[in-house]
Structure 1
Amino acid sequence: MPSESSFYTGAREFKGREFTIVKIFTDEGIMGIGCVPVGDPLAISAIIERKLKQLIIGEDPFKVKKIWNRMYEEIYKDRTGVALKAISAIDIALWDIIGKSLREPVSKLLGTYRDNVLCYVTGGYYQENKGIKELVHEVEDYIDKGFKAIKLKVGKLSIEEDKERVKSVRKAIGNDIKLAVDANHAYTVHEAIKAGKAFDEYDIWWFEEPVRPDNIRGNAAVVRDLDMPIATGEIVYTIKKFRNLIENEAVDIIQPDVTVVGGISEWMKIAHMASAWNIPVIPHWSQEISVHLVAAVPHALAIEFFTRKPNYRLEDKLYKNFFEPSKGYLGVPSKPGIGIELDEEAVNRFRIKD
């Protein structure tokens, strides 16, 4: 699905996004939906068709953990990347079915802790002809919409140039708004420490993915040398990898992505594990699903939220409904399941043609 214009993180350019949508139907006429962004849809679909589909047909969707374990054993030798994304899509769809069957939202099935969830809005991507003036206008629009927390991209420009961007944003939003920065692993360890010290005077909520998450020693060095919290985890695939980060004191906040780690079932395991170390959780992406997760986890801080304009994430073109925050908080949806309704016309329009 093409974006209206290219945009950049600190590490890469985005000209559009691809999605894999899984629909699971029950013999009672209930359809569960699982949508996974990023990853090759053709590869994910092939794994589902060739490896996982036969493990699901005829099973009771309420046995979601049994199904998860069977799928994981099936793809064990390929247990990261697109294989785990395939499991994620199916697991999310199964939880959607369970909620719809019981006529309850997924948050209630997981055990509701809070009814309203803090949203931090992700923005500040790099774009052609977008300078500090345009960046400031963007974040001021977020504040006008009532958001109380913002995340800004860093890492593409020099540290001094990005420092000016962070300084300008902090000046524009004032001291009462939370501000995080996200490098999308654009830095070396030395650069990350230097950048963190440069940004520190602007009261940074957390510094996200300063280096690659599989660089355990590097992350530990950044955590040790900087005062601000270090967050990572959006491309960490298994609970064991999160345990390695935590045990090696290489992270202050974990950010598991429900569409990466194996769906809702595995995301909750990771969140509960983190609680044993008093590590806060902030899910990456998928705000429609993440709101249910954060609603059920006491040590979860917020969800990542994307507004419709500028449209950085593009899922909104696939859904009929949009979960709209109020004063920076998103009420937990009351519709059964996840609450997502697909726009079938849009899905067909953007479908990858064979």
Structure 2
Amino acid sequence: MYGVSTQNGSFGRTNANTKVMGAYYTRLEEMHSAKGLFKFPEGKEVCVLEPSIGDGSAVKAITDRANNENVKIFGVELNDNVAQQTKKDPLIEDCLSADFTNGVVIKNNAFSFIFGNPPYMDDDDTDDGKRDRLERTFLERVTGSYLKKDGILVWVIPYSRFLEYATIKYMIGHYETLHVWKFRGSEYEKWHQVLIVARKTATKIALTDQIAAYHDKYADDTKIPELPLTFEGTELYQSIEVYPSESSEITLFATKEFHPLEAYQFLSIKADLDDYKKLAGKRATQKEYASSDLGKPPIPLKKDSEYLMITAGVGQGFAGTRGKDLHLQRGVAEVIEEAEYKSGDGANASDNGTIAVTTRAKVTMSIIETDGTITVLE
């Protein structure tokens, strides 16, 4: 039985992962073995993030989700059809249909366990000659943004990529590597994947001799142990404690792109779906326009009208004519509080006066011209 993650776009996997009819597989046998490593806190939630979740089988296996209701799994999946099916899984809290590298907005430092089988790219399979590895982007994203300090990273990666200088440097600088195992038997012979378990630490400098020592420790893959079938009854490996993290802390877990149909499912309104589609199709973003396109208002704008228009986004973005007076403008509306002291009338010795606080709306427009000049209009 296998866990599936399908390929589409920049976060799809290539070469080093198994490709079968457009799907990539993580063998669940290893994941069920690895679950014996971890000690989850009793009676407390642990929030888990899987950036390329597929159908969720792999992450559910390694966290033993079926037997631990306190594990809360959040996933991201590029293929929309797969994501929608995974979203229906009662053992998955939520699944976003997006590219994890640049298509999601997620609450920082909210997860204490991250499992990932990130994308692997050839040097020739990059855009504009860039050599940045997608797996390195994955590592930087989960480390710098989403994984709590002392959180656990479980990472499946080809052995050759694990030994790259930049990978080792990053691991030393941000993690304590607890274990490195290779997949068992023919599975390793085919795809040379290793499973890394590490705990996030405070950021530190990775010294040259540390990088060399780390490389030498794992340079001979024949000395890397195979992942045991089971950890039960053995004293060789002590269980790894996973610290709690509350799902209530994940106040932001969304895609950057607005999905109208998903929003419709959460609206408690009696509206026709076709009408809603038409309404949602009218985007609220301001495209480039010329000042002549706006026309003149039927009556002069008052302060209150200006405030309302600015907060609604009118006038944001590019304005003017290309090659002439094209500029970028942005309006800001804010509420200003002003305090005024009024002295007493002197009739009563205890009358020291009062402080009157008034509020008013302040509207400013910042204009950036093509030569870099910034003007603020109030």
Tell me, yes or no, whether TM beats 0.5. no
Query: Which structure is higher in RCO with an 8 Å CA cutoff and minimum separation 6?
Result: 1
TM-score scaled by length of structure 1:
0.29
Q: Point out the structure with the larger strand share.
A: 2
Q: Which has the larger radius of gyration?
A: 2
